[in-house]
Chain A
Amino acid sequence: MKKVTGMILGTVMTGLLGLSATAVSAADNIKIAFIDPLSGPFATTGANGLAEWKFAVEKLVNEKGGVLGGTKLEVIGFDNKISPKESLIQLQVAIDQGIRFIAQGNSSGVANALTGAIKKHNKRNPDKKVIFLNYSAVDPALTNDKCNFWHFRFDANADIKMDALTDVIAKDSSIDKIYIIGQDYSFGKAVAAAAVRNIGDKMPNVKIVGNELHPIGKVKDFTPYARKIIASGANAVITGNWGSDMLSLGKAVIKAGYKGPIYTYYAASSGITKAFGADGKGVIRIVSEGTLNPPVSDRVSDYVNAFKAKYPDNNVSQLRIANTAEMLAKAIDKAGSTDAIKVAYALEGMEIDSIWGGKVKMRASDHQAIQNVYVLAHTDDNMTHALDNSPYGLLTENTVVDAGMDSPTSCKMKRP
């Protein structure tokens, strides 16, 4: 009997020891809290982003020896259900767990809530300061009126992307009538406003033949809108639509006989590339901060192939995540610690050679990353890295080097 008890005790003890051992190694890691939707209607985007984050940190940082001479980075997912309120709760949970780096990207509404909360938190808890790594939310206000020292944006914001897009459109002399259509909410309106401003500045001869907003997520059939676009004689369409609104609009417009380009922000991956298939070829154009095709180096192919081997159902679709991971690791090394102030100062003005080609520079004046912006075409020609496990993917058509380098900002950065 005693023997049995001893055995059980022993097993339990070894178990506990084992547990504490892993706990110790995990505690040594530098943790990044990934606060994005992991359940609900936007879970696919969130889950894909988390996979990309975990892979980027593993491949680009940990496999190369980590930071500070051997410490590893670790990404932990926190589900915010894409709600700003829930995000603030998860932020507090993450901070209480001792996490000092917060990554978020889906929805500018959430980013606005987080950046405000983090600013307040850092003021009130000087010994527990955190840094906000915004890898995807593109509302221009975040690096303008609402900017603060702790927020860093690694994606090109909506204005920079529209600036690059209209640069490319301006070079195409066959386009003289543009139709702008978008979802009736803040991002759709921001895209429309930026498009009108840029077209007015750069292409005085081009006529805007339509500028309208449709109810978000409520339109069953986009055919009537497609008819209007055809009737207007437009030879280019600009839209900020995403999700099923993007796919339905694109398909309706193509089926109605439209042949020109549709310039978009979010018309790829999450099944959209596969669903567009042959119909979207020669029509769908996407403005993006990076490109997979043609791969600029073997490094890109190695990275994407290794990712697909590990996560066959996901896509490498948010290329800025790799830049974010690399820049964070470099900043921690440069600062020589994980102290938020030191890392934030190290990130300011930092420049790296992006794995996707070109350089990424974190502009100090507003913490907006300046990088190449590409206009990509949906096609199956010359595809090295297709999306959605389909033959289709995105191919570089135009490159705008260091897009928005001189773009103005209303940010008045207050530094600690």
Chain B
Amino acid sequence: MELIFVNILDGLVTGLLLFMLCSGLTLIFSMMGVLNFAHASFYMLGAYFAYEISTYVGFWPGLVFAPILVGIAGALVERYGLRRVHQYGHVPELIFTFGLALLIEEIIQFFWGKNLMAYDEPKILDFTAFTIAGNAFPAYKVFMIFVAMAIFLILLFILTRTRVGLIIQAALSYPNTVQNLGHNVPLVFMGVFGVGTALAGVAGVIAGPVLGTFPGMAVVLGSIVFVTIVIGGLGSLWGALIASLLIGWLQTFAASYNIVIGDVLVSIGFTRPENLDDSALRDLWTLTVSQIGPILPFLLMVLVLAIRPQGLFGKRET
């Protein structure tokens, strides 16, 4: 029972981390129609920048400056890369971001090498916040929860309560009309891309010490962020939040319980084959839920696309 509570908290941390990545991506995707393959690479860039800064002046300046640097890099990419490619249509944009992802990975390996980086959480947060039935819950994870919540609230406020948010929301649906009204839509695009990548940078800064800072960290998260925004519905901040939490909990609970598929099959009325080695479905009978954990979000995405193609909170079809 206590374990369920611990898993809920762990899932919350995973989900909120995912949300920080997805919130930027979903805005970029819905506004510009660009499937930014390099989004997770900006997350990685955030972690490496913060690591480099932390070796000189500690963790906290890294938390502030690394996302700013990543945001500037993102804005420059939009201004001098994507905007030029944009006129040739979506396929060149797709290829451009795909190439960018590879480029960033190579650049990181060029400067920092292929080793794992010794990027650690700050000493001040390196203690156990509380313990549930022998399971320690690090203070750093509490900090992660608060940062992610703060980001969500700020974003929600900006998007729904400010003039900038109004223009962004309008540009999401009717970019040409907004432009005709005299707003500088390309600048809005650049700003959204910059802020979106900066948010990915924040995620990298605070995830780096927990999930490891290494050249493969973008690839591990790369596909799951797309799954999340599709499930949540494009352009919807609430959708991104709910989908992220859903996936966080799904993966945490799947990995936490060693439920064997065979037992599930027996309980719903199937009979176990006498000799498993002769059975064509041997692998299915011996599979555990934790082994199929990584594919569950993809299954969920297929389900959502089949039943509600616009996503849980989306307003238009994907």
Contacts and interface: CB of A to CB of B under 8 A. Distances in A.
A223 interface: yes
Contacts, number: 108
A220 B115 CA distance: 17
Contact of B120 (A220, A243, A272, A277): A277
B255 interface: yes
A270 B210 contact: no
B131 interface: yes
B216 A217 contact: yes
A247 B116 contact: yes
Interface stretch (B6-14, B153-161, B232-240): B6-14
A227 B135 contact: yes
Interface residues of A, number: 37
B111 to A, nearest CB: 14
Contact of A248 (B118, B119, B211): B211
Contacts of A230: 134-135
B116 A272 contact: yes
B220 interface: yes
Interface residues of B, number: 43
B3 A227 contact: yes
Interface stretch (B88-96, B194-202, B288-296): B288-296
B116 A227 contact: no
Interface string A179-220: 000001000000000000000000000000010111101111
A255 B220 contact: no
A275 B119 CA distance: 7
Nearest to A276: B118
B252 interface: yes
A257 B129 CA distance: 11
Interface string A213-240: 1110111110111011011000000000
A244 interface: yes
Interface in A256-281: 256-257, 270-272, 274-275, 277
B115 A44 contact: yes
B118 A275 contact: yes
Given A218-B294, A257-B131, A224 B7 contact: yes
A251 interface: yes
B214 interface: yes
A388 B116 CA distance: 11
Nearest to B136: A257
A243 B251 CA distance: 22
Contacts of A213: 291
A220 B220 CA distance: 6
B291 A220 contact: no
Interface in B195-252: 210-212, 214-217, 220-221, 224, 251-252
Nearest to B288: A212
B258 interface: yes
Contacts of B6: 227
Given A251-B212, A255-B136, A275-B117, 7 more contacts: A44-B113, A214-B290, A224-B252, A224-B256, A228-B258, A257-B128, A257-B136
CB-based closest 7 A-B pairs: A257-B136, A271-B115, A224-B255, A271-B116, A274-B118, A275-B118, A44-B114
Interface of B: 3, 6-7, 10, 13-14, 113-120, 128, 131, 133-136, 138, 210-212, 214-217, 220-221, 224, 251-256, 258, 288, 290-291, 293-294
15 contacts: A44-B114, A184-B291, A221-B14, A224-B252, A224-B255, A227-B10, A227-B256, A228-B258, A231-B135, A251-B212, A255-B138, A256-B135, A271-B115, A271-B214, A388-B115
